A and B are shown apart, each in its own frame.
Chain A
Amino acid sequence: MNVRNHTISLLVKNKPDVLARISGILSAKGFNIENISANVTMNPDITKITMVAKGDTATIVKIEKEMKKLIDVIDVIRVKEKNAIQREMALVRVKINRKTRDDVTKSLDSLQCRILDESSDRLLLEITGETGEIDQALTSLEALGMEDMSRSGVVVL
Chain B
Amino acid sequence: MELNGAQILVRTLMEEGVDTIFGYPGGSVLDIYDQLFQSPIRHILARHEQGVTHAADGYARASGKTGVCIVTSGPGATNTITGITTAFMDSIPMVILTGQVPTQFIGTDAFQEADIIGITRPCTKHNFLVRRVDELARTIREAFYIASSGRPGPVLVDLPKDVMQARMEYQDVPAKRQARKEPVFLPDTADLEQTVAMLKEAKNPVILVGGGVLRGRASAELREFVRKVKMPVASTLMGLGSFPADDPLWLGMVGMHGMYYANMAVSNCDLLVTLGVRFSDRVTGKLSTFAPRAKIIQVDVDATSINKNVLVHLPIVSDCKSALVQLNTMLGNNGLEDLRESRKQWLDQIETWRVEGALTYTRGELIKPQMVIETLNRLTRGDAIIATEVGQNQMWTAQFYRFNEPNTFLTSGGLGTMGYGFPAAIGAQVAFPDRLVVDIAGDGSIQMNIQELATAVKHNLPVKIVILNNGYLGMVRQWQELFYEKRYSHTNISGQVPDFVKLAEAYGALGLRTADPDEVESVLKKGIEASGPVIMDFLVEPEEKVYPMVNPGAALTEMQLGRETGL
Contact = CB atoms under 8 A, between A and B. Distances in A.
A65 B117 CA distance: 23
B121 A58 contact: no
Interface in A56-96: 58, 61-62, 65-66, 68-69, 71-72, 74
B530 interface: no
Given A71-B126, A71-B146, A71-B181, A20 B118 contact: yes
Interface string B500-540: 00000000000000000000000000000000000000000
A14 B121 CA distance: 17
B494 to A, nearest CB: 39
B303 interface: yes
Report, as a range, how many residues of chain B touch the other chain: 10 to 19
A69 B306 CA distance: 13
A69 B302 contact: yes
A65 B303 contact: yes
B303 A20 contact: no
A17 interface: yes
A36 to B, nearest CB: 18
Contacts of A21: 121
Contacts of B126: 71-72
B344 interface: no
Residue among B117, B118, B146, B304 with the highest chain A CB neighbour number at 10 A: B304
A62 B122 contact: no
A69 B304 contact: yes
A42 interface: no
B293 interface: no
Interface in B101-119: 117-118
A25 B303 CA distance: 15
Contacts of B308: 62
Interface residues of A, number: 16
Contacts of A17: 117, 121
Contact of B121 (A20, A61, A62, A68): A20
B189 interface: no
Nearest to A16: B129
A66 B307 CA distance: 13
Contacts of B302: 69
Contact of A62 (B117, B118, B304): B304
B304 A65 contact: yes
Contacts of A65: 303-304
Contacts of B121: 17, 20-21, 24
A25 B124 CA distance: 12
A100 B384 CA distance: 86
A24 B122 CA distance: 7
Nearest to B304: A65
A143 interface: no
A66 B117 CA distance: 19
A16 to B, nearest CB: 9
Interface string A1-31: 0000000000000000100110011001000
B538 to A, nearest CB: 41
A68 B117 CA distance: 20
6 contacts: A24-B122, A25-B122, A65-B304, A66-B304, A69-B302, A71-B182
Interface of B: 117-118, 121-122, 125-126, 146, 181-182, 302-304, 307-308
Given A17-B117, A58-B307, 8 more contacts: A17-B121, A24-B122, A28-B122, A62-B308, A68-B303, A69-B302, A71-B182, A72-B126
